[in-house]
């Protein structure tokens, strides 16, 4: 436990001045901001008439100017956009040691390689949680500023539960990205993998088989796929959890046992 704490302190220190930290928060905050823009358009008939494309999009999404829609957009941002942003975070946290040239300095230390990786996984999960909390705060602020009618407690608790469950499902998908970062020794392989999974998640979800594809599951769960959410069952979640577990084991095994030549 003490070793894990040392590894965690070291990992937090490394990220102290990371510019990428703020980039991810700004990029992710686009979702509540866009939600706010939709809200303004929906409540203003003149703006609705002028904002052709945007208003059409808002209507396709059955978007209305209330907390129900706004929570929905925030949750979908996590389930779909999170695959990209969380993937970006995982690529950075795990790939940076190779890009910075510091990986070799982590391999022969009293703090085990496994503890170092676990610290990275903790930082990755915390970072992602901070991102979704930040979006929630930004969303609430925008909601208050726009004076959206106060929702009842049941609506809030249902949406919050969906929001954080979607977050959990998306975070779990970070482990295979960690493997690709360590196997590919840098950012390129994991970012390529993230791009591929994002495309496949959309295509496979559109064909109606998304409930068997782990990277489609958070999006479907968030409601981004509309009625397809009903197709999610125990098998869907089991596949996602097994994918995450396989990614974790592969990352640890590769980091501990493969030849480290970089």
Q: Per CB under 8 A, which region of 105-113, 169-177, 180-188, 216-224 contacts other proteins?
A: 105-113
Q: Does 1 bind other proteins (CB under 8 A)?
A: no
Q: Does 22 bind other proteins (CB under 8 A)?
A: no
Q: How far is CA 92 from CA 19, 30, 159, 220, 229, in A?
A: 11, 20, 30, 26, 31
CA 93 from chain center: how many Å?
Answer: 14
How many of the other CB atoms lie within 10 Å of CB of 43?
A: 15
Q: Does 110 bind other proteins (CB under 8 A)?
A: yes
Among 16, 60, 145, 149, binds other proteins (CB under 8 A): 16
Among 26, 49, 56, 107, binds other proteins (CB under 8 A): 107
Site string for other proteins, 229-258 (x = CB under 8 A): ---------------------------xx-
255 vs 252: CA distance, rounded Å: 5
159 vs 64: CA distance, rounded Å: 16
41 vs 50: CA distance, rounded Å: 9
Contact 132, 24 (CB under 8 A): no
Among 26, 44, 101, 199, binds other proteins (CB under 8 A): 101
Q: Per CB under 8 A, which region of 47-55, 110-118, 165-173, 177-185 contacts other proteins?
A: 110-118
Contacts with other proteins, residue ranges (CB under 8 A): 2-3, 6-7, 9-10, 13-14, 16-19, 100-102, 104-111, 116, 256-257, 259-261
């Amino acid at each position: 436990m003490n070793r894990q704490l040392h590894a965690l302190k070291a990992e937090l220190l490394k990220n102290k001045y990371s510019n990428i930290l703020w980039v991810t928060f700004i990029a992710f905050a686009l979702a509540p901001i866009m939600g706010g823009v939709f809200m303004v358009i929906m409540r203003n008939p003149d703006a609705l008439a002028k904002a052709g494309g945007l208003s059409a999009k808002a209507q396709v999404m059955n978007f209305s100017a209330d907390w129900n829609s706004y929570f929905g957009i925030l949750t979908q941002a996590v389930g779909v956009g999170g695959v990209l942003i969380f993937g970006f975070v995982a690529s950075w946290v795990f790939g940076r040691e190779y890009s910075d040239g510091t990986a070799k300095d982590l391999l022969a230390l009293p703090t085990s390689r496994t503890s170092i990786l676990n610290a990275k996984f903790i930082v990755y999960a915390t970072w992602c949680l901070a991102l979704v909390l930040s979006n929630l705060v930004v969303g609430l602020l925008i909601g208050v500023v726009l004076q959206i009618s106060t929702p009842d407690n049941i609506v809030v608790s249902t949406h919050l539960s969906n929001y954080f469950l979607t977050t959990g499902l998306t975070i779990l998908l970070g482990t295979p990205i960690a493997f690709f970062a360590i196997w590919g020794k840098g950012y390129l392989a994991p970012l390529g993998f993230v791009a591929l999974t994002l495309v496949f998640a959309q295509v496979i979800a559109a064909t109606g088989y998304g409930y068997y594809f782990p990277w489609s599951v958070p999006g479907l769960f968030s409601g981004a796929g509309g009625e397809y959410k009903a197709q999610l069952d125990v098998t869907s979640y089991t596949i996602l959890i097994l994918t995450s577990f396989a990614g974790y084991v592969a990352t640890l095994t590769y980091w501990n046992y493969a030849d480290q030549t970089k």
